Structure 1
Amino acid sequence: MAFVSVPKDLTKVKNKIIFNLTKRQLICFGIAAAVGLPFYFLSRGIIGSSNAATGMCLLMLPAFLFAMYEKDGLPLEKVLKNMITVKFIRPPVRRYQMENMYEKKYTVVRKKKGGTKSVKKKKR
């Protein structure tokens, strides 16, 4: 009898198309190849083979990251969108601060002749 392992969390199961890669990964790798390979072949005569290969790797790296990186089931663009939203777009949580209304409206004035304290309103 054949055994097939079934994962407990079915949300992590993804459809594989070719070479055990998903459609998203194939598209991102295609974009990386479309950007990196022409750069290498056009620039290796000018800047040398090893510099052209380094430049090609640096140009292809973002596409590889978008294809492969996943955190908590979210792809890289959603993770970056959430980080930008939290850090820059939405205001941070404000701390609770109280205003002492008595300090703003009233000041305590002492008389010099040994009298009692009196309260005066501030003029605005």
Structure 2
Amino acid sequence: MAASYISVPRDLTKIKSKVMFNLTKRQLICFSVAALIGVPSFFLLKQIGSTSMAAMGMMVVMMPLFFLAMYEKNGQPLEVIMGHFIQANFIRPKIRPYQTNNYYAALMRQAQLEKEVESIVRCSKENVR
């Protein structure tokens, strides 16, 4: 009699609850939206051209939703990864110089400002006399 083994993942946080057809809720939603967009596009493209062209067009329309459903890297879905990519490459500045808030420099700036205020007050008192 042969022993059968079941593989158990070591990290239980990576396990996702399956809803139906061994798919997660996210996958079901994305596949449903892909079908709702892809099937009508197939029939519209079939009227314009050939069946093979319509099938290719349907695949082009449905692929981004399949990627949204299935792709995940480091526990982050595709839209989060794309958001980080857009932030890093287009929104945030490219050069971010390192700046420290030196406490000694802050004290020196404060002392300089106090000297300036004191000299302004002294000049205004002399002008009043």
Do they fold alike, i.e. is TM over 0.5? yes
Q: What are the superposed Cα offsets for residues 92-114 of structure 1, whole Å, 9 maximum, x if unpaired? A: 23457xxxxxxxxxxxxxxxxxx
Name the CA distance, whole Å, in 1 between partners of 2:95 and 2:44. 51
Superposed displacement of residue 5, structure 1: 4.5
The unaligned stretches of length 5 or more in structure 1 are 97-124
**Residue in structure 2 matched with residue 20 of structure 1 by the alignment:** 22
Residue of 44, 47, 62 corresponding to 1:42: 44
- Root mean square deviation, CA, Å: 1.8
Change over 3 Å in CA distance of 1:45–1:94 after alignment to 2: closer
Superposed displacement of residue 15, structure 1: 0.3
Superposed displacement of residue 7, structure 1: 2.0
**Runs of 4+ that moved beyond 3 A:** 2-6, 93-96
- Relative contact order higher in (CA < 8 Å, ≥ 6 apart): 2
> TM-score, with normalisation over the residues of structure 1?
0.69
The unaligned stretches of length 5 or more in structure 2 are 99-129
Name the CA distance, whole Å, in 2 between partners of 1:57 and 1:5. 35
Q: Which amino acid aligns with 1:15?
A: S
Name the CA distance, whole Å, in 1 between partners of 2:30 and 2:47. 27
**Residue in structure 1 matched with residue 110 of structure 2 by the alignment:** none
**Residue in structure 2 matched with residue 29 of structure 1 by the alignment:** 31
- Between Structure 1 and Structure 2, the one with more helix by share is 2
Q: Which amino acid aligns with 1:56?
A: M
Count of aligned positions: 95
Other structure's SS at 1:92 match: coil
**Residue in structure 1 matched with residue 57 of structure 2 by the alignment:** 55
Identity across aligned pairs (percent)? 54
Other structure's SS at 1:32 match: helix
**Residue in structure 1 matched with residue 68 of structure 2 by the alignment:** 66
